[in-house]
Amino acid sequence: MKNFLKILLVFFSAMVIFEKSFSEENKEIDTGHKYNVYTGMFDFSDDGKKSQILGVQHLNDNLFRDSFIGTIKPVTGFMVTADTASYLYTGIQAEYNIGKLNLIPSFTPGLYHEGDGKDLGHLVEFKSELQLSLDLSPSTEFGFSYNHISNASLGDKNPGANSYMFNFLKSF
């Protein structure tokens, strides 16, 4: 837990420095690219295999499709745990704005490597996530997300993993 608090402190310090370096007077034209840097706890519900997590995600606001469930956008990302487990993913997400609050569900299939971490039972895994974020400025958000990763019984076993993360999102 002590290491996690250190990582969280470094993460939030980097957020403040990052935000100040791209303040409104230094901001260039918004290209529609949004990056999400996050940290948290991978598989917090499994005392034997929970691990700290760090990840980055890219969203291109220019590549959207309006659908019956709202505006859908592609999302791609990578995460790694302190136990060297990793997950590379791409999929879709929707964003629902409620004033300064944003509700962001997503679904992202991907490739999982267990490293020294939890064996999820298969190379192909599916991540379902729900994120709630707050607009700090027109180009910056801070949020909290919860996700579940599962192989949908593609493998001989399907233990799944539940994770939570703190998110820092920045548009460029």
Contact 100, 134 (CB under 8 A): yes
Residue 19 pLDDT = 52
Residue 130 pLDDT = 98
Residue 9 pLDDT = 57
List the chain residues with pLDDT less than 50. Answer: 25-26
pTM of the full structure: 0.82
Position 53: which residue type? I
Distance of alpha carbon 68 from alpha carbon 112, whole angstroms: 31
Map out the domains of the chain with their CATH numbers. 2-171 (2.40.160.20)
